[in-house]
Amino acid sequence: MCLSEESQVKLKHLRPVLLMAALLISACAETSRSVHTNLTSGKAKVTLLYKGHVQPIEGKTFLPWSTHDGVRSLSTSVFLIESGGKVLIGDPGEVRKGEWPKIMDKLADMGISPEDVDYVWIDHHHPDHTMHLGAFPNAPVVDFWSIYKDEIWSDHPDNFEIIPGVTVVRTPGHTEEDSSLLVDTDEGVMLITHMWWHNNLTPVVDPVGEDQASLDKYRKALLRKADLLFPTHGEIMKNPFKNKEWDGKPYTP
C-alpha cells in the first residue's frame, strides 16, 4: 500500500500520539489486572467473603462420628486478607450449595483472579475447611507447621509471618493441627480462630475436641491480645474480653 507524501507526513506526526495511546491502554489494563496489589503500605485488610454456619438437622445425630448415620449442616467462613501487596485466602472450605461461584465473583469484582492469590491458609485439616483448596492454582497452602506447594513440603516455625502483619500461631485443642491467625489491622489486632465456632464464644467445651485443656490454655493466652475476634464459622466482631477475663461462659452482647 502506497501513501501520498502528505499522508506520510500526517502519519509521522500521529506516531507519538498513537504510541502514547497504546501505552495508556496497556497501563490501564495492568492496573485493572493487579488493582489488589496496590496495598503496599499500611495495615492488613480482612474481607469476609462468605459467613459460615454450624446447624443441627432435626431428627439427625449432630455430633460427627458418634453414630454411623449422623448428619449436620455446616460451612466455613471464607475470607480474604490483603497486605504488603500480597493476597491470602483463608479456609476455602464447605459452603452452601451455589455459594462458591458467588465467592469467586466477589474476588473478580475486586480485581483478584484465582491465579493472583499468593497463599491459602487453613486453620485445621477437617474437610469443611479444605474443600476448595484447589481453586487457587498458584497458591501454596499454609497450615499450623508447614507450607505445601506442588511436591515441596516446607516446614515453618510457630509465630510465622505469612505475609506482612499476618502471623500463624499454633493453637492445638480442637485438633492437634489447629492454628490461628493474628492480623495487624487498622482497627487493631484481629484473632482469626477455630477455638470458638460462633460469635457467642461457643462451644465452651468442644464436643469433638481432642484436648480441652490445651484449647482453654490457648484461648486464655490469645484472647487478651486481640482487639477483634473472627471465629471461623462466624464473622468479625469486637473482642468483648479485651480488657477483662473471659468467664468461660457463652457471650451475650
> In degrees, to the nearest 5, what angle opens at C-alpha 222 toward C-alphas 95 and 206?
50
Nearest to 171 by CA among 159, 184, 183, 155: 159
Q: Which three cell numbers stand for residue 174?
A: 480442637
Q: How far is 52 from 63, CA to CA, in rounded Å?
A: 18
Q: Does residue 14 lie in a domain region?
A: no
**pLDDT attached to residue 6:** 53
Question: Does some domain include residue 103?
Answer: yes
pLDDT value at residue 1:
45
Q: Is the pTM of this model over 0.75?
A: yes
The mean pLDDT value for 67-73 works out to 91
Instruction: Summarize pLDDT for 175-229 with one digit per residue, the tens.
Output: 999 999 999 999 999 999 999 999 999 999 999 999 999 999 999 999 999 999 9
Give the CA radius of gyration of the chain.
24
Q: What is the pLDDT of residue 149?
A: 97
Q: What pLDDT is stored for residue 132 in this prediction?
A: 98
Q: Give the model's pLDDT for residue 174.
A: 98
Reported as a pLDDT band with limits 50, 70 and 90, residue 140 is: very high
DSSP 44: B
- Compute the average pLDDT of residues 26-35: 34
Mean pLDDT to the nearest integer, 168-172: 98
Residue 208 has a CB neighbour count (10 Å cut-off) of 12
Amino acid at 228: L
CB 103 within 8 A of CB 114: no
Q: Look at residue 2 and tell me if it is in a domain.
A: no
> Is the model's pLDDT at 26 over the cut of 50?
no
Specify whether the CB–CB gap between 173 and 215 falls below 8 A.
yes
pLDDT at 28: 33
At residue 4, the pLDDT reads 54
**Residue 20 burial by CB count (10 A; 0-12/13-18/19+): exposed, middle or buried?**
exposed
Q: Count Cβ neighbours within 10 Å for each residue of 231-252 and write b for 16 or more, e otherwise.
A: bbbbbbbebebeeeebeeeebe
> Is 13 part of a structural domain of the chain?
no
C-alpha to C-alpha distance for 105 and 95, rounded to whole angstroms = 15
Closest Cα to residue 161, out of 216, 81, 47? 81
Q: State the cell numbers at 4.
A: 501520498
Question: Is 91 among the domain residues?
Answer: yes
Q: Is residue 92 part of a domain?
A: yes
Domain with 52, as residue range(s), is 39-238
The C-alpha atoms of residue 236 and residue 230 are separated, in whole angstroms, by 4
Distance between CA atoms of 176 and 179, rounded to whole angstroms? 9
Confidence class for position 110, pLDDT limits 50, 70, 90: very high
Q: What distance in Å separates the CA atoms of residue 251 and residue 199, rounded to the nearest whole number? A: 8
Q: Is the pLDDT of residue 31 over 90?
A: no
Is the confidence at residue 9, as pLDDT, over 90? no
Question: Is 181 a member of any domain?
Answer: yes
At 190, which CATH number? 3.60.15.10
102 within domain boundaries: yes
Side chain identity at 122, as an amino acid letter?
I
**Mean pLDDT, rounded, of the chain:** 87
By percentage, how much of the chain surpasses pLDDT 70? 84
Neighbours of 201 (CB within 10 A): 24
Domains of the chain: total: 1
pLDDT band at 253 (very low <50, low <70, confident <90, very high): confident
pLDDT score of 7 more than 70: no
